[in-house]
Amino acid sequence: MCMQSCTILCDFVHAEVWEWMVQTLLNSHINISSNGEIFSVKVRRSNISTIVETLDNVYNLDWLTSASKNECTAAVGLKWMLNQGLMQHHEEIVEYFKTKGVSAIFLFRRNLLRRMVSILANSYDQKAKPLNGTHKSHAEILAKYKPTINTTLLIPDLKQVEDLVTKSLQYFKSTRHIILYYEDIINNRTKLVDVQDFLKVPRRDLKTRQVKIHKGPLSSQVENWDDITKTLNGTHYESFLQEDYKI
């Protein structure tokens, strides 16, 4: 197998459990090595030169990752949030991807309202440190937290994220890529087979220890559900109020 470079492109500003779940699923494949969220360190994304240098360093680590897994690494990559210099330098990055043969996995969430609840819960986790005074993301205790969503900003915020996703797909449409949605993984695990085929690695049963924290209908996960319903009913985002998957 020839080693190739791959990058998971995410719209999330905060790392959440579903992103880590997908990353750990892929990383459980013996022929795939994911280096995590490399560009969370600001100096690595300060300009296009540092970005390219960082990418070169990551994609040239295949011999190290292969040695650690005792088998050939067929795909090596990282997780890259859209707000980490990716959109600002998209023209140069697209050229780099095409020149270096980097494949992109777009990882999005269909229900942007669930995404918002997850962000608020993650923010609460970071600020309140509810677990014995220590920061421990994605713990079960977070499932009990019910945020209040600002309904005045709700529709503008949803549109902003929607526009970001649309723009990112437009920017990177000329690259070799696949689009992956969290809801599709939950409802149809064969999507992971599609990803393995996309990365040209042998099909394997991928596993992760990550668990879904926020379960059940959204109405049970936010404090001001009635206000949210009134705000979104009759709008383009009304479908987000419906149960999009079951766990």
Domains of the chain: 4-241 (3.40.50)
pLDDT at 63 over 80: no
Q: Average of pLDDT values for 102-128?
A: 82
Q: Per residue in 23-55, is it b (16+ CB within 10 Å) or e — as a string?
A: bbbbbebbbbbbbebbbeeeebbeeeebbeebb
Higher pLDDT, 123 or 226: 226
* Poorest-pLDDT segment among 38-52, 158-172, 189-203: 189-203
Q: Residue 44 has what pLDDT?
A: 95
Query: Burial, 153: exposed, middle or buried (Cβ in 10 Å; 0-12, 13-18, 19+)?
Result: exposed
Which three-class secondary structure state does DSSP give residue 102?
Answer: strand
pTM for this predicted structure: 0.81
| d(C-alpha 33, C-alpha 61), whole Å | 9
Q: Average of pLDDT values for 102-110?
A: 90
| d(C-alpha 190, C-alpha 210), whole Å | 18
Q: Average of pLDDT values for 175-182?
A: 90
